[in-house]
Every structure is written in C-alpha cells, then in structure tokens.
Structure 1
C-alpha cells in the first residue's frame, strides 16, 4: 500500500501508479478486496464501499475507477462468478473468452452512451470528434486490459479512454503505465483464449506461475511481447493525438517540472511556488477532471451500492464451474 496516497499497488511495482511515489522500501501488506465487497453489498470495510456506478445487471458491474488515469476510466467486473485474476481464464478458455467479451461490451456501452453521448464532454474532452459507429470503432480510442498481479483479486477489465490526465501522461512518458509483464492487453487475452484447448490449463490455482501460461500461449502462436509493444505504441499515439484537444494550457494555473511547481505571472513568465508541491497539484487536477463520484456533495464524491447484491453462495468459483 502506497505510503503517500494509500493506493493498493501490486507487489511487483517499484513506484505507485496513482501518485508516482517510490515503493522501493514499502513492505508487502494486504488490503480489503473491496470489489467483492461491492458484489456482496457490504456497506463498509476500512472505508465505505460506495460505488461510482455506471451500469449494473445481475451479472456485471461497471463503475468509475476511483484512481482514474483519464476522465473516462472504467472498471468492468463479473458479479456471478469469482475469478481472482486473468490466469484462471485459462482453466476454461471458451468460457473465459465469453466472459471478457461481455465485460468489454458492458464498459463500451457505458462509454458510448454516457461519455460520447454527453454533449459537453464530447465537445470539451473529445473535441467533437465523429462518434464511433460501434464498439469496435470505439476501441481506437481506448486502452483495454488487465493487470497481474492485480490490486484487487476479482478480475476486472481496465477500460481507459484517452486522453490520459496530465499527471498520467507524464507517467506514460516515463514508462510507469501499462507495465511490461504486468499489463495484459485485452486483444492478447482474446487471441490467446480463442485458441481453446491448445492453451487450456489442467489446473489453475493461486500458485500457478503466469510464465507457464505465457509460454504455452506463445507456443500456440500468440506472443505477449508483440501485443504489449503494439499497445504501448498505441497509447503514445492516442495521447499525442488527443491530449492537445482536451487539455489546453490556458485551462491550467500551474506547470510542474519534477517536484517544482510554477505559476504564470501577469508578465507571462512562470514563477516558482515554493509553498506548493507537485502532488498537491496532481490531487487538485484529479478532483477537477475525474468523473468518479459525480455529482459531488459538500465537495466530496458520492456513490451508491449494487442493487443485485449477492449472497456468497450465489457467486461461483470460475474453476468450480469448469470442472
């Protein structure tokens, strides 16, 4: 858990992917699995389990990521089946493929209807670009994938519609986002799972080595390295194309160089603000630009609960069904 912003981070990361702080000396600890808390309708753990809800059905939840990388950063999770992480999909590739396709469809519908369909958002953030005809066209604007190890052990699709917020643009340039061998593009998982029995694992447990799965998939003709490199290239291309439309310089009061904050004076020159730190600016930007918790109440995010909350017995383990 990051000591600066308290975000749960994978133990393989060397810096926090929310605030950028070093994790080099941070001890491994454990956090609440709040995604399962959402599914079970639990009101509160270490913090309130309210959801910035976008869509809910008896089988899926889609919500704003509370630590958003972009103004449209969604998480899509299944609610009728427990899948700790993407390794378990390979216990039953056909079912795994259908599941992740349904997760994508849930999030994509939200993006098209609630973001592209919002006139002000469409004009301001997307520059009035022609609306995608369907969810396949929408993929041209989105980075999609799953992390391993995850921050929460219930499988979730990261649906990150570009452009990234300014701080996360900086993180991308430094190679701190979509980390190699941690971020698994949706396209890679789809191609891999479509191979069916050729990539099926006889047994998947919490101890299963992901490298074993990657090697098996590569031997069957789908190479993770190729997909990851293409995803990184796509992310940089999207950011270069879209950020200038969304984030105009005159919309911001400060510039940040490393940890130094500067403000534009009346003479047009930038002056150092020694009483301000970069993380303070980042926090303010996130609050102003993210869609998590809208509408705010008393200047704080609001949320709700899953109306189809499950009993534990109603959530089946993915591998239990596969046997």
Structure 2
C-alpha cells in the first residue's frame, strides 16, 4: 500500500487493520535480517515457519522486529501527515465508526435524502483521487499503449544513489 493513505484507509490503519505486526515486514528489517544471515553464511527455510517463529529466529541474529516495526510505523505516520494534504473543503462529509457524519460538527447524519452511505462516499473519494494517468471510460480504467519504451536494463539497487537520484541533475542529488 502506497502513501498517501486515503482517508478511509487511514481510518482502517488507526484501528489496526493495515500494516499489522507479523504481517507487515519493514524493508529495513528485511534487509538487516538478510545482511545478518549473509555475514554468517547461514540460511533457513522460512516458508515452513510461522511469522512469530521467523521473527524469533531472526532476533537471535540481533535484528529486532518490534523496534523496526515501531520505527516504520512512525515513519509512515510522519510521511502520511505531509503527503496526505487533502483539503477539507474538498469533502462534503466525514465517516466515523462507519457512519456518515457532518464534516464540521461530527454529528451523525441519519442517511436521509441526499446523504450518501459510507460505502458510496468511499467509492466516490477513491474515484476522485485516482491519479494513475490512465483514461477512464464509464468509470473503468482504459488501456494505454506507449510506442517508445526504454530499452530493458537491470534496475538499480535499492538505496543506491543511482536509484535515488537517477532522474535528478547531479547538483540536485543529496543521497550518499
């Protein structure tokens, strides 16, 4: 799931439904675990382990899952705060505990005439915020054909300055 989180997804996250412990493994944790295993020349069959067993095994290498998960969640929340700069003026209603509410007062609306359901609001928000650059016909994404693709080449390694700055002029790259 990529940031920014839609308002409905942020609500699910705050209730513990997204990025759940032992289902979400931060990239920094995975890389640290793989590096620790590579340093000692060891591997094991993680496919036969539960997530809890996997984390316990990796913790013996000095890689702390709880710390990595907490740090990743703090990073996610901070990033989402800055990226999800939705203007409240763009919304007509709010959703709290699955109920449609007045966006300013928080008062629950009874769903009378002219008041959409929470599900309808969620769908309308998703449609309004879609930014894939694809044309939509009758509410469905259309295909795109690009005549001049780049030549195939290996992708840069994650964390390398090439991966971070390949689209910036040399003077604009601050990655080490």
Q: TM-score, normalised by structure 2?
A: 0.66
Q: Distance in 2 between the 1:271 and 1:226 partners?
A: 39
CA contact (8 A) 2:99 2:108 kept: no
**Equivalent residue of 2:111, what SS?**
coil
Aligned: 1:282 with 2:122: yes
The 1:264/1:186 distance shift into structure 2, 3 A limit, reads closer
- Unaligned ranges ≥5, structure 2: 146-176
- What is the match of residue 187 of structure 1? 28
The C-alpha deviation readout for 1:167-194, integer Å capped at 9, x for no partner, is: 1121222222210111000111011111
- What is the match of residue 161 of structure 2? none
For the pair shown, which has the larger CA radius of gyration, 1 or 2? 2
More helix by share: 2
- What is the match of residue 239 of structure 1? 80
Q: Distance in 2 between the 1:165 and 1:285 partners?
A: 8
**Residue among 270, 294, 299 paired with 2:139:** 299
- What is the match of residue 200 of structure 1? 42
CA contact (8 A) 1:199 1:220 kept: no
- What is the match of residue 160 of structure 2? none
- Unaligned ranges ≥5, structure 1: 1-157, 306-323
Aligned-residue Cα RMSD (Å) equals 3.0
CA contact (8 A) 1:261 1:278 kept: yes
| Greater relative CO, 1 or 2 (CA 8 Å, sep 6+) | 1
CA contact (8 A) 2:100 2:117 kept: yes
| Alignment size in residue pairs | 141
CA contact (8 A) 1:258 1:278 kept: no
CA contact (8 A) 2:134 2:144 kept: no
- What is the match of residue 148 of structure 2? none
CA contact (8 A) 1:184 1:228 kept: yes
The 1:256/1:200 distance shift into structure 2, 3 A limit, reads same
**Equivalent residue of 1:272, what SS?**
coil
- What is the match of residue 60 of structure 2? 219
Q: Distance in 2 between the 1:223 and 1:269 partners?
A: 40
Q: Distance in 2 between the 1:190 and 1:256 partners?
A: 38
Give, in angstroms, the shift of residue 248 of structure 1: 0.8
Q: TM-score, normalised by structure 1?
A: 0.38
